[in-house]
Chains A and B, each alone.
Chain A
């Protein structure tokens, strides 16, 4: 139970260990712990943020979907309208075309008929002269009676 040099020895050892601990043990361990603490805090904050973002994104997605639906229906409406319009236009065009074709055909028919009538008329003159010649015995001078025949033909 003597107090002796051990006291001094222990004091020196105490100082040495405390200095070692202060320089090489305490700072790295505490730094690591604090860094981890911060990391965890950041992670939790990030998770919370992500949750909020997710909620927001969901809302946005729903809104977008609604918008898209509305837009699609309006596009379909417009397309339907346009299709009807096109059909109407096509109908009109077709009617006009048909009328035009009909008119052209009628004109042609008329023309043809006129031409046939003219031809017939000229033929009638020749035929009537020939008939008369036959009847009168070929004594009629064609040249001399041309006016008469033409008058006859015109009366037909």
Chain B
């Protein structure tokens, strides 16, 4: 991070690199000149190249910590409110929590017509959790990474939803639920839906299957990548504006104004993306429950 030799692109790349812990393959030449021995080695990656070399056997420590931390915060906070909740007059934070719960409940009632006690809590979790993860985007880009860098942590990406692993992880989770309910609710009807739709004739089964499977697979990808794309782009713009500060003292005020402006606009985006993720989750699950 620090140092005179730092370039703008270096600054940006640094900000977009996760703190990765993973297994380097045997024979890999590390950045300090050493070579990984037989059987590989579990280490913290130094830079994007090493992280890429780790392949699938790696974990983004920062994404996981922030994501799980925010999830735990959500559970703790909502659990505390759930304990306080009673039929008496609500007060303080309980009002806000009840507003969110009522909002999610209404949305689920509007879009989901089956009977499934999982959908509403799932929607609430998705909404609040994604919102909290997105909210990290509003923390000044250098504040936490730079502080942690001073403490010796090389990389830090504090917005978990700018990590495709996180968004796709949730999307795949939703996708598995979709498949599960499609099969348990529709049974053989699910196979029929895949093979005899839209052309209801045995001859067209391969065509139908291809189209329907593509359509089915597109759902989790669109769900996960939409959130990722929006948040990544938003984060990128924050970083670019932050990089403007290095362009000289004259940029201080315009860049500051841009930062504030984008942050205000981003409040809308993070809420909207959390809402879209929740609504699509409900709609996909609703489709999985509806027999044609």
Contact = CB atoms under 8 A, between A and B. Distances in A.
Contacts of A30: 101, 105, 120
B85 A4 contact: no
B12 interface: no
Interface residues on A, range: 20 to 34
Contacts of B86: 32, 35
Interface string A1-45: 111111111110111111011101110111111011011000000
B164 A29 contact: no
Contact of A9 (B98, B164, B169): B169
Contacts of B170: 10-11, 14
B125 interface: yes
B122 A22 contact: yes
Interface string A45-61: 00000000000000000
Contact of A21 (B98, B105, B125, B173): B125
Interface residues of B, number: 50
A21 B56 contact: no
Interface in B166-197: 166, 168-170, 172-173
Nearest to A14: B173
A19 to B, nearest CB: 9
B23 to A, nearest CB: 10
B121 A39 contact: no
Given A2-B58, A4-B59, A9-B64, A15 B169 contact: no
A149 B211 CA distance: 175
A14 to B, nearest CB: 5
A29 B79 CA distance: 9
Contact of B75 (A1, A4, A21, A35): A21
A15 B175 CA distance: 12
Given A2-B55, A4-B57, A11 B101 contact: no
Given A6-B166, A7-B169, A35-B87, A21 B78 contact: yes
Q: 5 closest pairs, A vs B, by CB?
A: A10-B169, A6-B165, A32-B85, A22-B121, A35-B87
Interface of A: 1-11, 13-18, 20-22, 24-26, 28-33, 35-36, 38-39
